[in-house]
Amino acid sequence: MTHIKHIALAFAFECNQQATRHVTQGCIRPLIHDTYNDTSMKRRKTKAEPASPLQRFSRLSPQGKRRLLLRSAAVLGVAGVSAGSLARYDSRKRVLHDLTIIGDGAPAVVQIHDPGCQTCRRLKSRTLVALEDLPHVRFRLADILTGDGKALQDRFNAQTITLLLFEPGGKLVDRIVGLQDIDRLRHRFGQAFAPTA
């Protein structure tokens, strides 16, 4: 855009100079003719072969090459970290939504969860804090936007913001409905998953 502005300013300056010259000489008509026929104002069409990336790199100064390599390394590092984070997030999400663990020999707490529900997210965080004292109990989310999550919700006729507590064999032993405080959740989990002697 700035290149076009420079050309327009140069053209205006040239026209102004010619107009001043022609007005002082008393003839305005040749001005129009001169402006359009001026070869210095015509854009020359030259086709330069585009340089390959290797050719452009070889033309750089040593400092320019060093800067380019450092920038490239930084971009690759950021891309690698981002890809690793996404992969870790995806694997955690897959584990968190794996409902096949119900009845596989360990007690489980499954939250009927709507990802767009703020209260559901608060219940999830409180449940995770309350389960810190019970490492043998697994926590899972039944996302109602997925087929498996919706099927579990329908099977147990549960609304969102509900925790379903399963014994190691897969039998439903308790149901907690609504947002509860952490102490209340700890108490209910302790009752449902009390160690047997």
- pLDDT-derived band at 138, boundaries 50, 70, 90: very high
Q: What is the chain's mean pLDDT, rounded?
A: 76
72-86: average pLDDT: 68
191-195: average pLDDT: 82
Q: Total structural domains in the chain? A: 2
Does residue 165 belong to any structural domain of this protein?
yes
Same domain, 90 and 149: no
Does residue 50 belong to any structural domain of this protein?
no
Same domain, 136 and 87: no
Same domain, 84 and 120: no
Counting Cα atoms < 13 Å in the Cβ hemisphere of 28 gives 1
Look at residue 20 in the predicted model and tell me its pLDDT: 47
What is the separation, in whole angstroms, between the first and last Cα of the chain? 81
Reference 42, options 11, 20, 3, 18; nearest CA is 11
The range of the structural domain enclosing residue 69 comes to 65-95
pTM of the model: 0.55
Whole-Å CA distances, 165 to 15, 128, 136, 173, 176: 86, 14, 13, 6, 8
Does residue 83 belong to any structural domain of this protein?
yes
Q: Between 158 and 31, where is the model more confident?
A: 158
Same domain, 102 and 187: yes
Same domain, 142 and 186: yes
CB neighbour list of residue 107: distance below 8 Å, 6 or more residues apart:
136, 137, 138, 165, 166, 167, 168, 192, 193
Give the single-character DSSP code of 196. Answer: P
* CB contact at 8 A, 114 and 144: yes
Same domain, 147 and 77: no
Same domain, 71 and 116: no
Is the pLDDT at 4 greater than 80? The verdict is no
Reference 191, options 142, 130, 119; nearest CA is 130
Each residue's pLDDT tens digit, 179-190: 999 999 999 998
139-158: average pLDDT: 91
